Amino acid sequence: MRENDMLEKEEIFSKVLRAGRRTYFFDVRATKADDYYITITESKKFTEEDGSFHFKKHKIYLYKEDFTAFSEILGDMTSYVLNHKGEEVISERHQKDFKKEYPIEKIEEEAIPQTSSFTDIDFDDI
């Protein structure tokens, strides 16, 4: 079998979920025996101080014999979280439209020293 044929056969069906700095890849792949399994890959982008970046990836292999139990437990876990905490995202930095805002009063207080001599300026001294 040619190398291109193996690559085409390996990835059968794929979906991508972009979630902020994380991207999740869901792929159906084929075994050598031509059976199917699923890989779930989490890719997270990290930015260095110099502006360069790298990705860390974690992968889960899920085989057909585990689909039912995995699906049931995932359903139980997501239901538990939603029933106890609701669908609202509490950590606002994980929301797609998050922009860190600073209260104007706080910025002004921090930027301007609060001393009595600050307003006592004599321009003849300059």
Q: Cα-Cα-Cα-Cα dihedral of 63, 66, 71, 74, to 10°?
A: -100
Q: Quick: pLDDT tens for 49-74.
A: 888 888 899 999 999 999 999 999 99
Contact 30, 9 (CB under 8 A): yes
Residue 16's pLDDT band (cuts 50, 70, 90): very high
Dihedral sign, CA of 62, 64, 70, 74? positive
As a whole number of Å, the end-to-end CA separation of the chain is 84
What is this structure's pTM? 0.60
Q: Using one digit for the tens of pLDDT, what is the confidence trace for 18-42?
A: 988 899 999 999 999 999 999 999 9
Tokens matching residue 86: 């609701």
Distance CA 19, CA 102 (A): 24
13 has a pLDDT exceeding 60? yes
d(CA 53, CA 33): 38
